[in-house]
Amino acid sequence: MSAIATPPATSRRRAALTPRQVLVEVLKYTALLVLTVTWLFPFYWMFTSAIKDDPQVYTIPPVLVPNPAYWNNFADAWGKNNFNLFAVNSVFLYALPATLLTVMSSAVVAYGFSRVRWPGRDVMFYICLITIMLPWQVTMVPLFITFKSLGWLNSYLPLVIPNAFGSAFFIFMMRQFFMTIPEELADAARIDGAGEFGIYVRVILPLTVPALAVVALFRFLWAWNDFLGPLIYINEQDLYPLALGINRLRANISATGTNALAYPYLMAVSTIVVSPILLLFFMAQRTFIEGISVTGIKG
């Protein structure tokens, strides 16, 4: 995320435009420009505040272009507040294991819901779909009590292990993909005497790698972004994920009043935590959009 302005491109039409059409074009791009600036402004403010010093933060009118820019705020904010550890926790204790388990379990379950024919399958699938609507609050307290009695508090087990049982949203997503694969491929393997699981692993799964990537992408993103889960289960600071690290930085500000460089540091850390997601998004924009569209439309 860097620049905010986009040049309103001119219309691709070759024919001369009537004044009315010109007006429509101008209105269209004006609206887009206003939207873009408004929508990106919070990110611009996050980034520019990160490289300010305190006088630049507490000035009216607000400083839109920090000068001088304090680039080492990024390294200071990150390093002084233990964020390397939080990043390791976020990725290796939470996001990666959760992603791996989700991909494995959701694919196998979705296969059973789409490519194996069995009586009662569709009823079961609807039950599975309905669970998407179940508010997390309803299971929150009992699961907390259960995980507490298992001694799982202050660990990532309550956030990771449930992924081994598939998640309705991703099962749905994978099922949509499985249904697009022609049956003939499996039939050929069946004639060769392959069992259903063999067909799944050797024939169908290799064809669904792009779909698995969509699931992995979203699951990783959710874990990276998750705030509530760790808030409930993780109390020990050495185990904090990034989200709780940021929350603690914020809490320090409100507890001690605004101490030196409080806002620049908060914004610097936020900028760093946002960046990989932006990078990921721009590298895999199509995958993101397809994932959303598939689940959104064909429901």
Partner 1 sequence: MQSSRASALPWARLSSRDRRGLITGLLFISPWLIGFLALTIYPLIYSFYVSLTRYDLLRPPVFIGAANYVELFTKDAQFWKVVYNTVFYVIFSVPLSLGFSFLVANLLNARIAGRSFFRAVMYIPAIVPGICTAMVWLFLLNIQYGAINGLLQSFGLPAIPFLSNPDLAKPSLIMVAVWATGNAVVVFLAGLQDVPRSLYEAATVDGANGWQQFRNITIPMSTPVILYNLVIGFIGAFQEFTSAYLIFGVSGGPLNSALLYSPFLYQNAFQYLRMGKASALAWLLFIVVVIGTMMLFRSSARWVYYGGEK
Restricted to residues 113-172, the positions that interact with partner 1 (CB under 8 A) are 113, 116-121, 123-124, 127-128, 131, 133-146, 148, 162, 164-166, 168, 171
- Out of 228, 237, 259, 279, the only residue in the binding site for partner 1 (CB under 8 A) is 228
Position 179 contacts partner 1 (CB under 8 A): no
Give CA–CA dist 98/95, Å, rounded.
5
Please name which of 225, 221, 226 lies closest in space to residue 280, comparing C-alpha atoms. 221
Restricted to residues 64-103, the positions that interact with partner 1 (CB under 8 A) are none
Q: Looking at the chain, how many residues does it have? A: 299
Q: What SS3 state is found at 234? A: coil
Give CA–CA dist 273/265, Å, rounded.
12
> CB of residue 36 vs partner 1: minimum separation in angstroms?
5
From the list 72-80, 177-185, 203-211, 271-279, the region that binds partner 1 by CB under 8 A is: 271-279
> CB of residue 7 vs partner 1: minimum separation in angstroms?
9
- Out of 17, 26, 179, 278, the only residue in the binding site for partner 1 (CB under 8 A) is 278
Interface pattern 182-221 for partner 1 (x via CB under 8 A):
--------------x---x--------------------x
> CB of residue 134 vs partner 1: minimum separation in angstroms?
7
Position 22 contacts partner 1 (CB under 8 A): no
For the range 176-182, what are the long-range contacts, defined as Cβ-Cβ under 8 Å and sequence gap of 24 or more? 176/294, 176/295, 176/298, 177/110, 177/208, 177/210, 177/211, 177/294, 178/110, 178/111, 178/114, 178/115, 178/204, 178/208, 178/211, 179/114, 181/115, 181/207, 181/208
Give the orientation angle of helix 72-80 with respect to helix 262-283, to 10 degrees: 100
Nearer to partner 1, 70 or 144 (CB): 144
Provide the greatest CA pair distance for the chain: 76
> CB of residue 113 vs partner 1: minimum separation in angstroms?
6
